[in-house]
Protein backbone atom coordinates (compact mmCIF):
# COMPACT_ATOMS: atom_id res chain seq x y z
CA UNK A 1 0.00 0.00 0.00
CA UNK A 2 1.13 3.55 -0.73
CA UNK A 3 2.55 5.00 2.48
CA UNK A 4 1.22 8.49 1.79
CA UNK A 5 -1.92 9.45 3.65
CA UNK A 6 -3.34 11.44 6.54
CA UNK A 7 -4.39 10.47 10.05
CA UNK A 8 -6.71 12.94 11.81
CA UNK A 9 -7.46 13.08 15.54
CA UNK A 10 -10.04 15.57 16.81
CA UNK A 11 -10.08 16.69 20.42
CA UNK A 12 -6.33 16.04 20.41
CA UNK A 13 -5.27 18.59 23.01
CA UNK A 14 -5.52 16.21 26.00
CA UNK A 15 -6.92 12.95 27.34
CA UNK A 16 -7.98 10.26 24.89
CA UNK A 17 -7.29 12.43 21.87
CA UNK A 18 -3.72 13.04 22.97
CA UNK A 19 -3.33 9.32 23.73
CA UNK A 20 -4.53 8.37 20.24
CA UNK A 21 -2.14 10.92 18.72
CA UNK A 22 0.80 9.47 20.63
CA UNK A 23 -0.10 5.92 19.63
CA UNK A 24 -0.43 6.87 15.97
CA UNK A 25 2.89 8.72 16.02
CA UNK A 26 4.46 5.66 17.61
CA UNK A 27 3.03 3.49 14.84
CA UNK A 28 4.50 5.81 12.21
CA UNK A 29 7.88 5.73 13.95
CA UNK A 30 7.80 1.96 14.31
CA UNK A 31 7.87 2.04 18.11
CA UNK A 32 4.24 0.92 18.44
CA UNK A 33 3.26 -2.26 16.62
CA UNK A 34 -0.18 -2.38 15.05
CA UNK A 35 -0.34 -5.03 12.37
CA UNK A 36 -2.83 -4.01 9.70
CA UNK A 37 -2.91 -0.28 10.51
CA UNK A 38 -2.92 1.64 7.21
CA UNK A 39 0.24 3.66 6.56
CA UNK A 40 0.24 7.46 6.65
CA UNK A 41 2.86 10.20 6.49
CA UNK A 42 0.85 13.07 7.99
CA UNK A 43 -0.81 13.36 11.41
CA UNK A 44 -3.27 16.22 11.91
CA UNK A 45 -4.11 17.23 15.46
CA UNK A 46 -7.39 19.12 15.75
CA UNK A 47 -8.74 20.98 18.82
CA UNK A 48 -9.31 24.51 20.08
CA UNK A 49 -6.30 24.93 22.36
CA UNK A 50 -3.55 26.04 19.99
CA UNK A 51 -0.82 26.18 22.64
CA UNK A 52 -1.32 22.55 23.66
CA UNK A 53 -1.56 21.40 20.06
CA UNK A 54 1.65 23.19 19.08
CA UNK A 55 3.53 21.67 22.01
CA UNK A 56 2.25 18.16 21.27
CA UNK A 57 2.95 18.49 17.54
CA UNK A 58 6.55 19.55 18.20
CA UNK A 59 7.05 16.63 20.57
CA UNK A 60 5.61 14.07 18.14
CA UNK A 61 7.70 15.43 15.26
CA UNK A 62 10.83 14.75 17.31
CA UNK A 63 9.61 11.30 18.28
CA UNK A 64 8.63 10.30 14.73
CA UNK A 65 11.14 11.67 12.20
CA UNK A 66 9.67 11.65 8.71
CA UNK A 67 6.12 12.12 9.99
CA UNK A 68 4.58 15.50 9.25
CA UNK A 69 2.55 16.58 12.27
CA UNK A 70 0.16 19.49 11.79
CA UNK A 71 -1.57 21.37 14.61
CA UNK A 72 -4.97 22.57 13.38
CA UNK A 73 -6.54 24.91 15.93
CA UNK A 74 -10.23 25.11 15.16
CA UNK A 75 -13.65 24.99 16.80
CA UNK A 76 -15.51 22.13 15.17
CA UNK A 77 -18.92 23.62 15.93
CA UNK A 78 -18.10 26.90 14.18
CA UNK A 79 -19.87 27.37 10.86
CA UNK A 80 -17.81 25.96 8.01
CA UNK A 81 -15.03 24.61 10.25
CA UNK A 82 -15.39 20.94 9.32
CA UNK A 83 -16.01 21.73 5.66
CA UNK A 84 -12.80 23.78 5.63
CA UNK A 85 -10.86 20.98 7.35
CA UNK A 86 -12.05 18.43 4.80
CA UNK A 87 -11.21 20.79 1.93
CA UNK A 88 -7.65 21.24 3.23
CA UNK A 89 -7.23 17.48 3.42
CA UNK A 90 -8.59 17.08 -0.11
CA UNK A 91 -6.11 19.68 -1.40
CA UNK A 92 -3.20 17.42 -0.40
CA UNK A 93 -4.38 14.75 -2.82
CA UNK A 94 -3.81 12.16 -0.11
CA UNK A 95 -6.46 9.81 1.29
CA UNK A 96 -7.53 9.79 4.91
CA UNK A 97 -6.12 6.56 6.32
CA UNK A 98 -7.14 6.95 9.99
CA UNK A 99 -9.81 9.21 11.48
CA UNK A 100 -10.40 9.43 15.22
CA UNK A 101 -13.52 11.49 15.92
CA UNK A 102 -12.92 12.14 19.59
CA UNK A 103 -13.91 15.75 20.33
CA UNK A 104 -16.78 15.99 22.79
CA UNK A 105 -17.84 16.84 26.33
CA UNK A 106 -20.52 16.07 28.90
CA UNK A 107 -22.53 17.83 31.58
CA UNK A 108 -23.37 16.44 35.02
CA UNK A 109 -26.68 17.27 36.66
CA UNK A 110 -30.40 17.41 36.02
CA UNK A 111 -31.49 18.85 32.68
CA UNK A 112 -33.55 21.67 34.19
CA UNK A 113 -30.69 22.69 36.50
CA UNK A 114 -28.03 22.84 33.78
CA UNK A 115 -27.23 25.83 31.61
CA UNK A 116 -29.15 25.43 28.36
CA UNK A 117 -26.27 26.67 26.21
CA UNK A 118 -24.02 23.97 27.71
CA UNK A 119 -26.58 21.30 26.91
CA UNK A 120 -27.09 22.46 23.34
CA UNK A 121 -23.35 22.87 22.78
CA UNK A 122 -22.86 19.31 24.00
CA UNK A 123 -25.40 17.95 21.52
CA UNK A 124 -23.95 20.11 18.74
CA UNK A 125 -20.43 18.78 19.24
CA UNK A 126 -21.22 15.18 20.23
CA UNK A 127 -23.86 14.62 17.53
CA UNK A 128 -23.97 17.20 14.75
CA UNK A 129 -20.22 17.77 14.44
CA UNK A 130 -19.58 14.02 14.58
CA UNK A 131 -22.09 13.44 11.79
CA UNK A 132 -20.61 16.22 9.67
CA UNK A 133 -17.08 14.87 10.14
CA UNK A 134 -18.20 11.44 8.94
CA UNK A 135 -20.08 12.90 5.98
CA UNK A 136 -17.39 15.33 4.81
CA UNK A 137 -14.49 12.96 5.40
CA UNK A 138 -16.24 10.04 3.69
CA UNK A 139 -15.18 10.90 0.09
CA UNK A 140 -11.54 11.04 1.24
CA UNK A 141 -11.51 7.58 2.84
CA UNK A 142 -9.86 4.78 0.88
CA UNK A 143 -10.22 1.03 1.09
CA UNK A 144 -8.41 -0.09 4.23
CA UNK A 145 -9.05 3.17 6.10
CA UNK A 146 -10.04 3.03 9.76
CA UNK A 147 -12.55 5.36 11.47
CA UNK A 148 -12.92 5.46 15.26
CA UNK A 149 -15.82 7.36 16.81
CA UNK A 150 -15.60 7.88 20.57
CA UNK A 151 -18.91 7.05 22.23
CA UNK A 152 -19.27 5.81 25.82
CA UNK A 153 -20.51 3.05 28.08
CA UNK A 154 -23.28 5.58 28.77
CA UNK A 155 -24.51 4.96 25.21
CA UNK A 156 -26.18 1.68 26.20
CA UNK A 157 -28.70 2.94 28.77
CA UNK A 158 -30.53 6.17 29.68
CA UNK A 159 -29.06 7.81 32.80
CA UNK A 160 -30.97 10.09 35.14
CA UNK A 161 -28.78 13.03 36.15
CA UNK A 162 -26.71 12.56 32.99
CA UNK A 163 -29.54 12.40 30.48
CA UNK A 164 -28.36 14.60 27.61
CA UNK A 165 -24.84 13.18 27.59
CA UNK A 166 -26.03 9.56 27.58
CA UNK A 167 -28.47 10.38 24.79
CA UNK A 168 -25.77 12.05 22.72
CA UNK A 169 -23.50 9.03 23.07
CA UNK A 170 -26.34 6.67 22.19
CA UNK A 171 -26.57 8.65 18.97
CA UNK A 172 -22.81 8.33 18.41
CA UNK A 173 -22.98 4.58 18.93
CA UNK A 174 -25.97 4.11 16.63
CA UNK A 175 -24.40 6.25 13.90
CA UNK A 176 -21.13 4.34 14.11
CA UNK A 177 -22.68 0.88 13.92
CA UNK A 178 -24.89 1.97 11.04
CA UNK A 179 -21.86 3.30 9.14
CA UNK A 180 -20.01 0.06 9.88
CA UNK A 181 -22.66 -1.75 7.87
CA UNK A 182 -22.76 0.86 5.10
CA UNK A 183 -19.01 1.24 4.60
CA UNK A 184 -18.00 -2.41 4.95
CA UNK A 185 -18.36 -2.97 1.21
CA UNK A 186 -15.95 -0.05 0.62
CA UNK A 187 -13.33 -1.69 2.81
CA UNK A 188 -13.61 1.08 5.40
CA UNK A 189 -13.74 -0.04 9.05
CA UNK A 190 -15.78 1.97 11.57
CA UNK A 191 -15.38 1.29 15.29
CA UNK A 192 -17.29 2.87 18.17
CA UNK A 193 -15.16 3.17 21.31
CA UNK A 194 -17.46 2.77 24.32
CA UNK A 195 -15.33 3.08 27.45
CA UNK A 196 -16.33 3.41 31.05
CA UNK A 197 -14.31 5.76 33.29
CA UNK A 198 -11.08 6.95 31.67
CA UNK A 199 -8.48 9.15 33.37
CA UNK A 200 -9.00 12.40 31.43
CA UNK A 201 -10.24 15.95 32.08
CA UNK A 202 -13.82 14.86 31.44
CA UNK A 203 -15.07 15.26 35.01
CA UNK A 204 -13.44 18.65 35.40
CA UNK A 205 -15.56 20.03 32.57
CA UNK A 206 -18.70 17.98 33.17
CA UNK A 207 -18.88 19.14 36.79
CA UNK A 208 -17.90 22.74 36.11
CA UNK A 209 -14.81 22.23 38.26
CA UNK A 210 -16.58 20.55 41.18
CA UNK A 211 -14.91 17.19 40.47
CA UNK A 212 -11.25 17.41 39.50
CA UNK A 213 -10.66 13.83 38.34
CA UNK A 214 -12.56 10.90 36.90
CA UNK A 215 -13.14 8.33 39.63
CA UNK A 216 -11.46 4.96 39.03
CA UNK A 217 -10.33 6.12 35.59
CA UNK A 218 -8.48 3.65 33.37
CA UNK A 219 -5.36 5.08 31.69
CA UNK A 220 -6.13 6.87 28.43
CA UNK A 221 -3.05 5.31 26.80
CA UNK A 222 -4.28 1.76 27.46
CA UNK A 223 -7.75 2.66 26.22
CA UNK A 224 -6.48 4.14 22.95
CA UNK A 225 -4.05 1.27 22.39
CA UNK A 226 -6.70 -1.40 22.90
CA UNK A 227 -9.21 0.44 20.72
CA UNK A 228 -6.75 0.75 17.83
CA UNK A 229 -6.14 -2.99 17.95
CA UNK A 230 -9.88 -3.70 18.04
CA UNK A 231 -10.54 -1.33 15.13
CA UNK A 232 -7.79 -2.88 13.01
CA UNK A 233 -9.27 -6.31 13.72
CA UNK A 234 -12.61 -5.10 12.34
CA UNK A 235 -14.56 -4.72 15.60
CA UNK A 236 -17.63 -2.52 15.29
CA UNK A 237 -17.62 -1.76 19.03
CA UNK A 238 -14.58 -1.56 21.30
CA UNK A 239 -14.94 -2.06 25.07
CA UNK A 240 -11.44 -3.07 26.21
CA UNK A 241 -12.20 -3.88 29.86
CA UNK A 242 -14.30 -6.90 30.89
CA UNK A 243 -15.91 -4.86 33.67
CA UNK A 244 -17.24 -2.41 31.09
CA UNK A 245 -18.76 -5.24 29.10
CA UNK A 246 -20.37 -6.59 32.27
CA UNK A 247 -21.88 -3.17 33.01
CA UNK A 248 -23.23 -3.05 29.48
CA UNK A 249 -24.89 -6.44 30.08
CA UNK A 250 -26.26 -5.30 33.43
CA UNK A 251 -27.83 -2.25 31.82
CA UNK A 252 -29.40 -4.41 29.12
CA UNK A 253 -30.82 -6.83 31.69
CA UNK A 254 -32.15 -4.02 33.87
CA UNK A 255 -33.84 -2.24 30.99
CA UNK A 256 -33.99 1.51 30.28
CA UNK A 257 -36.44 2.50 33.02
CA UNK A 258 -34.55 0.84 35.85
CA UNK A 259 -31.18 1.97 34.50
CA UNK A 260 -32.27 5.60 34.39
CA UNK A 261 -33.84 5.47 37.86
CA UNK A 262 -30.85 3.68 39.41
CA UNK A 263 -28.40 6.20 37.96
CA UNK A 264 -30.48 9.10 39.21
CA UNK A 265 -30.79 7.74 42.76
CA UNK A 266 -27.43 6.08 43.36
CA UNK A 267 -24.91 7.54 40.89
CA UNK A 268 -25.14 11.23 41.71
CA UNK A 269 -22.43 13.40 40.17
CA UNK A 270 -21.53 16.96 41.19
CA UNK A 271 -23.39 19.37 38.92
CA UNK A 272 -21.92 22.21 36.92
CA UNK A 273 -23.21 25.53 38.27
CA UNK A 274 -25.76 27.17 36.00
CA UNK A 275 -24.06 29.52 33.56
CA UNK A 276 -20.71 27.74 33.62
CA UNK A 277 -18.96 27.91 30.24
CA UNK A 278 -18.36 24.66 28.42
CA UNK A 279 -14.71 25.32 27.73
CA UNK A 280 -12.60 23.52 25.16
CA UNK A 281 -13.23 20.07 23.80
CA UNK A 282 -12.49 17.48 26.45
CA UNK A 283 -11.68 13.90 25.70
CA UNK A 284 -12.69 10.66 27.31
CA UNK A 285 -15.94 9.14 28.42
CA UNK A 286 -17.34 8.31 31.82
CA UNK A 287 -20.53 6.60 32.71
Active site residues: 165
Q: Distance from CA of residue 238 to its chain's centroid?
A: 12
- Which helix (H) or strand (E) segment holds residue 98: the answer is strand 96-101
Cα 99 to Cα 38: distance, rounded to the nearest angstrom: 11
Cα 102 to Cα 281: distance, rounded to the nearest angstrom: 9
List residues bridging with 9 in a β-sheet: 45, 100
**CB distance 69 to 28 below 8 Å:** no
Task: Return the axis-axis angle of helices 256-266 and 242-254, rounded to nearest 10°.
Answer: 110
**CB distance 137 to 188 below 8 Å:** no
Amino acid sequence: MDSSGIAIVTGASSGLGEAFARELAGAAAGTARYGGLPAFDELWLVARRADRLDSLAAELCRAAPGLTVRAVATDLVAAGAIESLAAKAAETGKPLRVVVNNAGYGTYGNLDETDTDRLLGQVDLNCRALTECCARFSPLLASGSVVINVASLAAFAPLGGFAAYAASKAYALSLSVGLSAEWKARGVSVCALCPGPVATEFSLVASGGARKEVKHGWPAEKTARACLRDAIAGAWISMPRPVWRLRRLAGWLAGPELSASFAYRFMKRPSAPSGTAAGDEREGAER
